[in-house]
Amino acid sequence: MEIPDDVRRFVEEAKRRGYNVNKIAIAKVPFERYYYYENGEYVGEVGEEVALEKNIVMCHDDICILFYNDEPVLVMTRGGGKPGAELGVSKGEG
């Protein structure tokens, strides 16, 4: 199972900005389970407890958020495959 291209680009952008992130959790509909990756490799499915991890990218169908030291620091809106949707990355406030 591969990391979606938009999520991979988001992680690359986070690293370019100096954030050391190697954990990714992508929500599986209906959002009670997540596909979990470490160091770019698929680990397996996990429950909502993955949200307790530090320095992790959490993604749902329309958004990804980098939580770094328990703070949301970078946000990406996901197009969800809709025509004309763009990748928007912004620094979180907090």
What is the pLDDT, as a whole number, of residue 90? 55
For residue range 60-94, list pLDDT tens digits in order.
Answer: 989 999 999 989 999 999 875 443 334 455 555 44
Whole-structure pTM value? 0.79
CB count within 10 Å of CB 1 equals 10
Exposed (0-12), middle (13-18) or buried (19+): which is 83, by Cβ within 10 Å? exposed
29-66 pLDDT, tens per residue?
776 899 999 999 999 999 999 989 999 999 998 999 99
The domain segmentation of the chain, as residue ranges, is 5-91
Residue 67's contacts (CB-CB under 8 Å, 6 or more residues apart) are 54, 55, 56, 57, 58, 73
pLDDT at residue 80, as a whole number? 54
- Over residues 7-32, the mean pLDDT reads 92
Instruction: Kindly list the distances between the CA atom of residue 48 and the CA atoms of 5, 26, 57, 58, 92, in Å, as whole numbers in the listed order.
Output: 23, 11, 13, 11, 22
